[in-house]
């Protein structure tokens, strides 16, 4: 079968191989979403008289089959196909003849790929949101369980003040909850229909763009057709930027778990199921999963940088440069989803040595509290600070439970975990609503319906 742009000219195969790049490999992940968008486009074409009723029925049936094959890893894309869009159209043409040749009416590969990427992006952002909320739930459980488990608090990797393990877990739960609005904003940006914009200038056909929007469940129509193309790269870096927020927090959490699980501290022990060994040292239980989580937060940052560098300062409308924004988007979003899932698995199997954690709090960690106790006795803070710094106040009696030493809202003594749990419940409700809407359209397609 021919390529979609083939006019009968001969093109050097070395040029073809270079320009095709990784599209056959990458597009296998997008074919099911492309089939879904194509089903909506075909339904619209039938509504304006471009396709007959029987042609539409055949197309919906074959698109559903293509989506199933793609999700089960059976859809093949070759270098000769060039990309998933061509492979899909060639398959439809082989099986349906003219109906397959008509489906691209009023459509360019430009708006076709944007639609497929946005459908895929919505789906994986919901996956990521659900994975994040599951992890937050685990962290809140640990925070509740270890409210009273003493732990040194560090700055500059030096002991600073007494704290609790529950306080640490609650902090990361809140950090990750604060990342959710970033993901929701990215979802809203991707949740706009691009179809009907063609190559950026629309087409001389009465396409019903709002119908396609409704069929695909997009919240809005991206109105200006040139703006659709100008959005290439922008959507990708907004989405990756949103994904980078939890990735950074996951990397930090990984570093803390590595630190507190060292043999020297031993406050935390990792489940053997999430550790690996050494090829020469039989005693080793290495935290590779945490080290790779930490490193992959940097990899995700590089995905964002690649998109920014490719898309920056391009003129309006489509340029082939945008082909190179697909790989970092797919890699980055799949990566942060995996990071969230393995971190949830890791924290679920943690065990804690409360005695070692308590014993690890050095007397010096209470220095600030000793200074404040002198303040309560009427000493000016700066004088109290200097006195304790020079060894004074050592005989000041202090409560040894770190929670009793803190009165500030949000500190170890006032975690107020129920507030965080209420946020999780509200966010999970929105996530489940979005998941239900997406799955309903996929199910309709795969059963041969019109989404």
3-state secondary structure 368-400: HHHHHHHHHCCCCHHHHHHHHHCCCCCCCCCCC
Tokens of 338: 């995996």
Spatial distance between the Cα atoms of 138 and 187, rounded to a whole number of angstroms: 24
Residues 6+ apart with CB under 8 A from 318: 110, 199, 200, 229, 232
Spatial distance between the Cα atoms of 236 and 216, rounded to a whole number of angstroms: 20
Q: Is 411 an annotated catalytic residue?
A: no
Q: Which of 106, 98, 82 is CA-nearest to residue 18?
A: 82
CA 395, chain centre distance (Å): 52
What number of other Cβ atoms are within 10 A of residue 64's Cβ? 20
What are the phi and psi torsion angles at 262 (to 5°)? -65, 155
Spatial distance between the Cα atoms of 66 and 314, rounded to a whole number of angstroms: 35
Spatial distance between the Cα atoms of 288 and 274, rounded to a whole number of angstroms: 8
- The DSSP H or E segment spanning 114 is helix 109-145
Residues 6+ apart with CB under 8 A from 87: 24, 27, 31, 75, 76, 77, 78, 81
Active-site residue, selected from the candidate residues 156, 279, 351, 447: 156
Spatial distance between the Cα atoms of 279 and 339, rounded to a whole number of angstroms: 25
Spatial distance between the Cα atoms of 31 and 170, rounded to a whole number of angstroms: 40
Spatial distance between the Cα atoms of 115 and 216, rounded to a whole number of angstroms: 9
Spatial distance between the Cα atoms of 169 and 260, rounded to a whole number of angstroms: 12
User: Could you tell me if 443 and 36 are in contact, meaning their C-beta atoms sit under 8 angstroms apart?
Assistant: no
Q: Is 156 an annotated catalytic residue?
A: yes
Active-site residue, selected from the candidate residues 10, 108, 197, 278: 278
Spatial distance between the Cα atoms of 28 and 33, rounded to a whole number of angstroms: 10
Residues 6+ apart with CB under 8 A from 239: 121, 125, 186, 189, 190, 329, 333
* Catalytic residue set: 156, 278
């Amino acid at each position: 079968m021919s390529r979609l742009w083939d006019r009968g000219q001969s093109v050097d195969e070395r040029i073809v191989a270079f320009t095709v790049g990784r599209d056959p490999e990458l597009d296998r992940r997008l074919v099911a979403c492309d089939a879904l968008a194509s089903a909506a486009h075909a339904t619209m074409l039938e509504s304006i008289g471009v396709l007959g009723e029987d042609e539409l029925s055949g197309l919906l049936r074959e698109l559903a089959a293509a989506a199933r094959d793609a999700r089960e890893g059976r859809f093949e894309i070759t270098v000769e196909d060039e990309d998933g869009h061509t492979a899909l159209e060639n398959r439809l043409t082989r099986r349906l003849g003219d109906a397959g040749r008509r489906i691209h009416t009023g459509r360019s590969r430009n708006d076709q790929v944007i639609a497929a990427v946005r459908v895929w992006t919505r789906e994986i952002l919901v996956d990521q949101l659900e994975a994040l909320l599951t992890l937050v739930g685990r962290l809140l459980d640990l925070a509740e369980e270890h409210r009273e488990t003493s732990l040194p608090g560090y700055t500059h990797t030096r002991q600073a003040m007494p704290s609790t393990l529950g306080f640490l877990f609650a902090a990361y739960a809140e950090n990750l909850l604060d990342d959710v609005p970033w993901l929701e904003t990215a979802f809203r940006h991707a949740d706009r229909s691009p179809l009907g914009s063609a190559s950026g200038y629309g087409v001389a056909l009465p396409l019903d763009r709002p119908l396609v929007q409704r069929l695909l469940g997009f919240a809005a129509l991206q109105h200006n057709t040139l703006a659709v193309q100008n959005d290439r790269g922008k959507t990708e870096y907004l989405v990756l930027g949103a994904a980078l927020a939890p990735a950074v927090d996951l990397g930090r959490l990984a570093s803390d778990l590595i630190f507190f699980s060292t043999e020297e501290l031993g406050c935390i022990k990792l489940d053997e199921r999430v550790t690996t060994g050494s090829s020469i040292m039989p005693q080793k239980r290495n935290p590779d999963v945490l080290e790779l989580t930490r490193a992959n937060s940097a990899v995700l940052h590089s995905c964002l940088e690649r998109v920014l560098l490719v898309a920056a300062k391009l003129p309006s409308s489509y340029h082939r440069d945008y082909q190179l924004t697909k790989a970092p988007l797919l890699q980055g979003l799949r990566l942060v989803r995996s990071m969230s899932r393995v971190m949830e698995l890791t924290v679920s199997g943690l065990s804690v040595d409360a005695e070692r954690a308590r014993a690890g709090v050095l007397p010096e960690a209470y220095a600030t509290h000793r200074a404040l106790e002198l303040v309560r006795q009427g000493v000016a803070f700066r004088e109290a600070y200097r006195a304790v710094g020079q060894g004074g106040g050592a005989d000041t009696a202090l409560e040894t439970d770190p929670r009793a030493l803190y009165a500030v809202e949000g500190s170890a003594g006032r975690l107020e975990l129920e507030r965080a749990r209420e946020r999780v419940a509200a966010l999970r409700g929105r996530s489940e609503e979005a998941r239900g809407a997406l799955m309903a359209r996929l199910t309709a397609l795969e059963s041969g319906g019109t989404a």
